Amino acid sequence: MAFQYTEEELALAINKNVQDDESLTPKNAIFQLFGSNESSVSTQLKIFIGKEVLKKHKLICKFLLRNHLLNKLKAGSTEFIKKFIDFQRKDQIFEAFTDNKNLYLRLIVLKNENSFGSLLIDCSRMFYRLKEKFASSDNETEMRKFLVVWFQSSFMSRNIYEKFQKLSKTNFSLMEFRRFLFTLKHDVNVRHLLKWTNSIKTDNFMEPQKLKGILDAFCKEAVLELEDETLKIKGHLIFLSAVKPEIEMYERENIKHVSIFAEDACTIDSDLNNNFWKGMNFSVITNKINVNGICKIVLSGNGYVEGNKKAKSSNDPNFNGKDGEDGDPGESSGNIALLTKEFFNSTDLTIELNGGRGKDGDDGGDGFDGRNGVGVSRSDINNLIVNYNSLYRDSWSKFQNYSPPNNWRNLEDYGSSGEYIWRKYQDENGRIMTYSFAADKGWTYTTYEIYFIIQGSNGTSGSSGGKNGVGGEGGYRGSYVFQNPETGENFSANVFQNSGKSGENGKVGK
């Protein structure tokens, strides 16, 4: 071999120099070997030395690459995995190893000498083979799939759901996600999700944006919109207990229909039975409905209790009592439609769709009573009749000068001196007194006659009582539909639907 090296010595020298200097290039290797005699080295020898240097670098790189990949992937380093995949897309895999100086500098030498060959291809194959074994993202994918199924199942409790909502507003790591799951009440779904989460082999999420996207979509707050007297509630997963207070804040008179559109599931976990829901139409359109607990929805119309009032009675004989007002009809029940592909625990739901009771008609007002006639007693006659001893012996003037008390008014007065007297009087009660005294003079004697009569007054007619009010008609019962709109399958629930009772008619005034 040229100069002081045998072929074996040259190979050993090249190997040692490459081992000692990770940045050794073929040119530098020739200089280290021959120094100032470099110009005397043949081209063929230089080529040989260059190939040997690059060959040694490749051998060392293969070893270092395998160890580096093995260490990083066994540790589940998501930072390295993402960096490797990113630089692979850019065709710059060597840049993924900057934290390993020995390896990185040798790769730079190979890059500059355009001598990677199949090294990087083999590196990529080794990366994915080791990743699949030690840091597969399959479990992370399965965890996300299960979480989606759980959200869509309608079996997530509101308490857990609201905790996921808070989590969705933060940036969290895999470790923080695990700690979060441990804070939840451990039902079968939480345990299953923990199982998948604990099986993730990386030190963090490989695709955190996908998990974040799932939480953002499912944990988005429901949106309420009032349109043409219909209040629409839209969201992915809707809990009735959560949206109920918001719904009931609206003015009742502006709403005739409340409609829930849940893309995935609606959980009925609250009663709807206050005045806001009386006569309301209600619908839910979703993929799944779950009744969580014993719940009641009361859409029955408002009605009236038994009892009525009496119209105003007359206080004047010329006017009848007021007619009673007809009762108002009872409010009709609202209708309900629950349209879903699956309906869980439907028999735990009770729905009332009864019409309201009609209002009782008012009683007619009483008419004004007529005045009773005033009669005549024996005492009245004794006190009023002219006081005399004898028709024959008493003087004519006693009979002629007779006058009743001042409360009697003279209506008629006829007479002829010494022959007859005929008078008619009336008192304040309308009684009529007729007083007559007459003398029938003959040739031999005179006949006297007195006529005294008091006629009781007539009673006056009273006014008529008012007409009775007609009882209000009962409200109509509501209708219901619980159905899978795609198959026509009907679901069952406890439904009470009766027409409202009509109110009682009032009584005619007396």
Whether residue 243 is found in the same domain as residue 361: yes
User: In this model, does residue 3 exceed pLDDT 60?
Assistant: no
Q: Which residues of 8-37 are buried (b: 16+ CB within 10 A; e: fewer)?
A: eebbebbbebbeebbebbbeebbebbbeee
Please indicate, yes or no, if residue 416 is contained in any of the structural domains: yes
> Which pLDDT does position 189 carry in this prediction?
93
Please indicate, yes or no, if residue 12 is contained in any of the structural domains: yes
Whether residue 255 is found in the same domain as residue 349: yes
Angle made by CA atoms 136, 139, 141, in degrees to the nearest 5: 100
Confidence of residue 297 (pLDDT cuts 50, 70, 90): very high
More confident residue, 387 or 496: 496
The residue-averaged pLDDT of 412-434 equals 83
Whether residue 351 is found in the same domain as residue 475: yes
Domain that holds residue 392: 378-455
d(CA 406, CA 323) in angstroms, rounded, equals 44
> Which pLDDT does position 414 carry in this prediction?
82
Please indicate, yes or no, if residue 503 is contained in any of the structural domains: no
Region of poorest pLDDT, from 94-98, 229-233, 426-430, 446-450:
446-450
Handedness of CA 112, 118, 121, 127 (dihedral sign): negative
The winner for highest mean pLDDT among 69-78, 315-324, 325-334 is 69-78
The proportion of the chain whose per-residue pLDDT surpasses 90, expressed as a percent, equals 56
Task: Point out the domain boundary residue: 134, 160, 180.
Answer: 134
> Which pLDDT does position 471 carry in this prediction?
67
Confidence of residue 252 (pLDDT cuts 50, 70, 90): confident
Element (H, E) at 217: helix 208-218
Query: What's the maximum distance between 2 C-alpha atoms anywhere in the chain?
Result: 212
d(CA 224, CA 424) in angstroms, rounded, equals 91
Whether residue 13 is found in the same domain as residue 50: yes
Region of poorest pLDDT, from 35-39, 180-184, 346-350, 426-430:
35-39
Whether residue 33 is found in the same domain as residue 76: yes
Please indicate, yes or no, if residue 372 is contained in any of the structural domains: no
Whether residue 14 is found in the same domain as residue 83: yes
State how far the alpha carbon of 21 is from the alpha carbons of 26, 28, 103, in Å: 12, 10, 11
Whether residue 338 is found in the same domain as residue 410: no
User: Could you identify the residue written with the tokens 């009735």?
Assistant: 240
> Which pLDDT does position 450 carry in this prediction?
80
- Listing DSSP states for 344-394 in one string gives ESGGGEEEE-PPPPPPPPPBPPPPPPPPPPP---HHHHHHHS---S-TTTS
Whether residue 144 is found in the same domain as residue 206: yes
Confidence of residue 106 (pLDDT cuts 50, 70, 90): very high
Confidence of residue 146 (pLDDT cuts 50, 70, 90): very high
Angle made by CA atoms 41, 42, 47, in degrees to the nearest 5: 105
d(CA 67, CA 397) in angstroms, rounded, equals 162
> Which pLDDT does position 509 carry in this prediction?
64
Please indicate, yes or no, if residue 2 is contained in any of the structural domains: no
The winner for highest mean pLDDT among 307-311, 423-427, 435-439, 459-463 is 423-427
Whether residue 173 is found in the same domain as residue 319: no
User: In this model, does residue 410 exceed pLDDT 60?
Assistant: yes
Confidence of residue 1 (pLDDT cuts 50, 70, 90): very low
Please indicate, yes or no, if residue 509 is contained in any of the structural domains: no
State how far the alpha carbon of 87 is from the alpha carbons of 60, 82, 97, 124, 258, in Å: 22, 9, 10, 11, 54
The proportion of the chain whose per-residue pLDDT surpasses 70, expressed as a percent, equals 94
> Is the Cβ–Cβ distance between 404 and 425 less than 8 Å?
yes
Please indicate, yes or no, if residue 502 is contained in any of the structural domains: no
For residue 188, give both structure tokens.
């079968």
Question: Using one digit for the tens of pLDDT, what is the confidence trace for 354-363?
Answer: 988 777 777 7
> Which pLDDT does position 22 carry in this prediction?
94
188, burial (CB in 10 Å: exposed 0-12, middle 13-18, buried 19+): exposed
User: In this model, does residue 464 exceed pLDDT 80?
Assistant: no
Strand segments (E) across 275-340: 281-285, 288-291, 295-298, 336-339
> Is the Cβ–Cβ distance between 506 and 358 less than 8 Å?
no
For residue 200, give both structure tokens.
């993730």
d(CA 260, CA 356) in angstroms, rounded, equals 25
d(CA 42, CA 81) in angstroms, rounded, equals 46
User: In this model, does residue 113 exceed pLDDT 60?
Assistant: yes
Task: Point out the domain boundary residue: 200, 218, 236.
Answer: 218
More confident residue, 321 or 420: 420
The residue-averaged pLDDT of 82-102 equals 94
Whether residue 213 is found in the same domain as residue 250: no
How high is the mean pLDDT of the chain? 88
> Which pLDDT does position 4 carry in this prediction?
66
Q: Which residues of 71-109 are buried (b: 16+ CB within 10 A; e: fewer)?
A: ebbeebbbebbebbbebbeeeebbbbbeebeebbebbbb
Element (H, E) at 244: helix 240-247
| Count of domains observed in the chain | 4
User: In this model, does residue 446 exceed pLDDT 70?
Assistant: no
> Phi and psi of 432, rounded to 5°?
-110, 125
Whether residue 299 is found in the same domain as residue 241: yes
pTM of the model: 0.71
Please indicate, yes or no, if residue 441 is contained in any of the structural domains: yes
Strands 432-441 and 420-426: antiparallel
The residue-averaged pLDDT of 243-255 equals 92
Task: Point out the domain boundary residue: 119, 134, 149.
Answer: 134
> Which pLDDT does position 153 carry in this prediction?
93
User: In this model, does residue 413 exceed pLDDT 50?
Assistant: yes
Q: Give the HSE-up count for residue 176: Cα atoms under 13 Å, Cβ half-sphere.
A: 9
Whether residue 181 is found in the same domain as residue 312: no
Nearest to 499 by CA among 474, 466, 462: 474
